[in-house]
Amino acid sequence: MATKLDDQSLDQLYCAARTRNAWTEQPVTEQQLRELYDLLKFGPTSGNCCPARFVWVRSAEGKHRLAALAAPTNAPKILAAPVTVIVGYDLAFAEQLPKLFPARGKDMQAHYSDPLVAQTTAFRNGSLQGAYLIIAARALGLDCGPMSGFNNEAMDSEFFCQHTHQIQFHLLRRLRIKRKHFPAQPEAGVRGSRTLCLKEQQNE
Residue type at 25 in one-letter notation = E
Which segments within the chain are labelled E, that is strand?
52-57, 84-90, 169-176, 202-203
CA–CA dist 18, 108 (Å, integer): 39
Q: DSSP letter for 113, please.
A: G
- Beta carbons of 66 and 78 less than 8 angstroms apart: yes
Nearer to ligand FMN, 178 or 199 (CB): 178
How many residues bind to ligand FMN according to rule CB under 6 A?
12
Q: Which of 45, 74, 193, 195 binds ligand FMN (CB under 6 A)?
A: 74
CB of 188 to ligand FMN, least distance (A): 5
Return the sign of the alpha-carbon dihedral for residues 199, 168, 124, 39.
negative
Each residue 7-36 as x (binds ligand FMN by CB under 6 A) or -, in order, gives: -----------xx-----------------
Rule CB under 6 A: is residue 192 a binding residue for ligand FMN? no
According to CB under 6 A, which residues from 152 to 191 bind ligand FMN?
A: 173, 181-182, 185, 188
Stretch that binds ligand FMN, among 1-9, 78-86, 92-100, 140-148 (CB under 6 A): 140-148
CA–CA dist 130, 112 (Å, integer): 21
Query: Using CB under 6 A as the criterion, which residues of the chain lie in contact with ligand FMN when the complex forms?
Result: 18-19, 74, 146-149, 173, 181-182, 185, 188
